[in-house]
Structure 1
C-alpha cells in the first residue's frame, strides 16, 4: 500500500469541515484512505482498514457496554476513526464509549449539523488522489496476473504476494487443509496480522490474508483479489473433484474384481508391486476423508463401500496415509497386506472387521495377524488377543485386576446385573461405575455386540495368557 497523505488530524484541523475531537485524541495520526457513511448495526464488516466511518448515530448502540464493544470492533477492523453527525438520531454517548476510545487511541469525532458528510468524502478523495491512482494501476496489474489462474496458480499467488506485499493462503474449512498458497515471504514477521474472507465460488473455502500493521489492503483492491483467486481455486477444485470421481469409480471396479484402466495414474507406476492394503473409515467421516485425500493428492483410491468408507493404498504409503488421517482427525483401521488386486474385496472386509473391533480410543488400528477363532490355538495367540482387546486392563496392578475380574464375572454371568453384583459382593451402582471405567480404558462397550465379542475372546484367552512361562 502506498503511503496516504491524509491523517485524521488533517480533517479535524480543516475548519471548513466543522469537526472536533470527542475522544481518542492520541490516535489523530491515523492515516485515512477513504470515508464511508454506514448506518447498519455492524459497520465494521462493511469498511476496510484506514477508512473513516461517518454516521448520524443509527448504528451506535444505546447502552454503555454495547458502546464499548462497538468502539472495540471498529478498532479491531483497523478503521481510521468514526465521525458522528450532530443529529437528533445520535444516542447519548456514555463514558464507556469515550473511555474505550481513549484507551485504544481510536478517534471519535463530532461533525456539526451544517457539514454534509459529502464534504468530508470529497476532501479525503482529493487528498488521496495519488494513492487511488496507484491502486488503479495495481488493479490493472492484478488482472494481468489473473491469466495464470488456470495454468500456473502457484505463480499467480507468488506474483500477487509480491505486488501487494501480503501473504495469501486458501484454506478448506471442512478439513483444515491448504488448497492453494503462495511461497513464504522472505520478510514474513510474527507481527503480521491475518484476516479471513469467504471466496465467492465455494462456501467451504476461505482466503487468509497476512498483512503488516499499517499496510493493510484496501477494500477496493481486496474485492478484486478475491475474484481472481476464486478463479484459480475453482479450477483447482474442479480438478480435485474429477480426480476423486475417477478414483471412486476405479475402487468400485476393483472391489467387483475388475482391473480398471489408468489405475496407475492415481496410485503411481508399479506402486502396488509391493502389495496393497485397504483402510476402513466410518461412513459419516467419508466426505471429509474423500475431500482431504483429494486435496492432498494422496495416491489412494477412495470411495464408499457397503458398510464403511474405504481407501485402497499401496502398502508403502501406510505411514503417510495413517499420519494424514490422524492430522484431519479421522479414525481408521487397515487390513493386512495383499498382493493380488482381485483380493481387494477380502482386504476391505478385513479392514472393516478390524475397524469394528477396535476401541474408539484408538485413532488407527492395524490388522495384527490374530485369527478370530472361538478358541485360541497357542499361548502366543492368546497373548495377542488379550493385549489387543484389554490393553492396560491386562496389567497386574490392583485396579486393573479389579476391573478385569468385574468384566469376566459379568461375561460369565451372561451379562446379568443382579447375579454379577452378588458374585462380586458389590452394589449395582458400583458395577455400573466399573463397566464405565472399563469402557474409558479399553474404548470398548459391553453394550456393543462387536465389543462384547472381543471381550469374550479375551475372557477365553485369559487362562493361557496368565499362566506362567515354562523355564
Structure 2
C-alpha cells in the first residue's frame, strides 16, 4: 500500500540534526506547516513568498533598525509565511534585535538560525522531499543514484562524494586484504555522534561497506540495496586495476633481478628517476599479497615482487617514509638494504635486504635498516663485483678443485667470525688441517687472515661472491 503524504512542519526541520538549525524565537509556532522553502534577498520578500512557505536569507533583506525589523517580521506573519530562517553570517546579517525576537514570540512566528555551513539548497530539497510520498521520493533518489553512477566517468572519488551528498550518509569501503579504505567520504557536518553500520559487498572482490548515519535518519533498506550494487561495480573496477598493477610490478621485479630493465619500469616508477636512489626492502613471502595490494591501491611508484628467499619492494628513497607509515600497525617486518643508484645492483641489494630481514627476525621493529658498508663500496655493479673478487681472491677465484676448497675454507672462517673450532666443525676437518689451509690462503692471495685491512677486503670479496652467485 502506498505511503500517505505528510506535510512537513517547522519543528521537523529543527529536529533534523544534519541541517544544523536552531530556534531563536517563536517556538510556539513550530507546528506550522512548511510546503516550500525559498531563498530570497529582495527588499520585500513578503511580496514574493506566500502562505506556508519558509523564507531563507543570509540577512541582506533584513533591515538593521529594531523598529524596522519588527515591521518586517509583522509583514511576513501577515503574509502567512511559515517562518524565517537566517544564516549565521555576521558579514551579511545585521544583529537581530530583542524587539524583533519579542514580536516573534508574541506572534508565535518561528525565527530560526541556520549554521554557517548549512546550504539552503539542502534545506529546500529536504522540504520538497518530505512533502512527497515516501515511494515517490525513493524512486527519485534511485533515479538520481543511477544517473550519478552512469556519469561518473571512472571518477570513483567523485561518485562516492556525490552519493554522500545525495543520501546524507557517510561512506567508507575497506579492503579486507589490507584493511585500507578503497573509497571514503565523510558527512560534511558530522557534529554529533553518528551510527555506523557494516555490510559485506559481494561482488567479484570482497569488501566491507561502512555507512555512517545521523540517529533517526537511517538510509532506507530499498535504497541501501542499490547503493551496495553500485559500489560493488565501482570497487570491482578499482581492485581489478590494482591487481593488474601488482601483476605488472611482479614481472618488473623478476626482470630487474635478472639484470634487465623492462619498459614497464618507467611507467611504474614515474616520476622518479634512477639518479634519485633506491632501497630494496625484503619482507616475508606470507605478506606478499597484502603489501602488493596496498602499494597498488595507493598507486605508489614502488615495484613489489618475489625474490629468491623473500618478497621484495624497490622503493625510491624519498618514498621510504610513506611506505613506513603505510605499514604502521600491520605486523609486517621489513629489512632494508643500503641506498643504491645503479639498477644493476638490484640483485645485490635484494640479497643484502634479505640478510637484514633474517638478522632482525626476533626484533619487534617493523623496519630495520642495513648497517655497515654500503653497496656503493661493496660493488656498484656486477662488473665491479667480479673485479673485487678477482683482485682480492686471486687464484682462489678460479674453478679448480683446490681453489674451491681454499675459497670455501676462507668463507667459512669469515662466517664463523674467525673462530677456529666452529670453522673446523663446519668444514668437518681437524684444526691442523685448518691451519694448513689458512697458511695456503695467505700464500696464494698475498694477504693475511689476521690484519684488519686484509680481513675487510676478504669480507667484501665474500659478499660480492655471494651476490654474484645469487
TM-score, structure 1 as length reference:
0.50
Partner of 1:138: 141
The number of equivalent residue pairs is: 253
Partner of 1:321: 323
2: distance between equivalents of 1:230 and 1:412? 65
Over the residues paired in the alignment, what is the CA RMSD in angstroms?
2.8
Runs of 4+ in 1 over 3 A off after TM superposition: 2-6, 411-414
SS in 2 for 1:273: helix
Deviations 1:334-358 (A, max 9, x none): 0001111011000000000000011
Instruction: Work out whether 1:161 is the aligned partner of 2:154.
Output: no
SS in 1 for 2:341: coil
Which runs of 5 or more residues in structure 1 are unaligned? 7-127, 372-410, 415-471
From the superposition, tell whether residues 153 and 413 of structure 1 become closer, same or farther in structure 2 (CA, over 3 Å): same
Work out which of the residue numbers 267, 275, 298 in structure 2 matches 1:273: 275
2: distance between equivalents of 1:412 and 1:174? 49
How far did residue 285 of structure 1 move?
1.1
Please identify the structure whose Cα radius of gyration is greater: 2
Partner of 1:209: 211
From the superposition, tell whether residues 366 and 142 of structure 1 become closer, same or farther in structure 2 (CA, over 3 Å): same
Moved more, 342-351 or 287-296: 287-296
2: distance between equivalents of 1:185 and 1:193? 12
How far did residue 326 of structure 1 move?
2.4
2: distance between equivalents of 1:216 and 1:171? 21
Partner of 1:123: none
The answer on whether the counterparts of 2:279 and 2:336 sit within 8 Å (CA) in structure 1 is: yes
Which runs of 5 or more residues in structure 2 are unaligned? 8-130, 375-418, 423-470
2: distance between equivalents of 1:316 and 1:282? 23
From the superposition, tell whether residues 260 and 413 of structure 1 become closer, same or farther in structure 2 (CA, over 3 Å): closer
SS in 2 for 1:326: coil
The answer on whether the counterparts of 2:356 and 2:368 sit within 8 Å (CA) in structure 1 is: yes
2: distance between equivalents of 1:289 and 1:169? 21
Map of 1:62-461 to 2, 5 A cutoff? 130-182=133-185, 184-202=186-204, 204-358=206-360, 359-369=362-372
2: distance between equivalents of 1:363 and 1:348? 18
From the superposition, tell whether residues 166 and 257 of structure 1 become closer, same or farther in structure 2 (CA, over 3 Å): same
Deviations 1:8-47 (A, max 9, x none): xxxxxxxxxxxxxxxxxxxxxxxxxxxxxxxxxxxxxxxx
2: distance between equivalents of 1:197 and 1:330? 27
1: distance between equivalents of 2:272 and 2:323? 18
How far did residue 363 of structure 1 move?
1.5
1: distance between equivalents of 2:188 and 2:134? 26
1: distance between equivalents of 2:200 and 2:347? 41
SS in 1 for 2:327: helix
Partner of 2:27: none
Deviations 1:23-80 (A, max 9, x none): xxxxxxxxxxxxxxxxxxxxxxxxxxxxxxxxxxxxxxxxxxxxxxxxxxxxxxxxxx
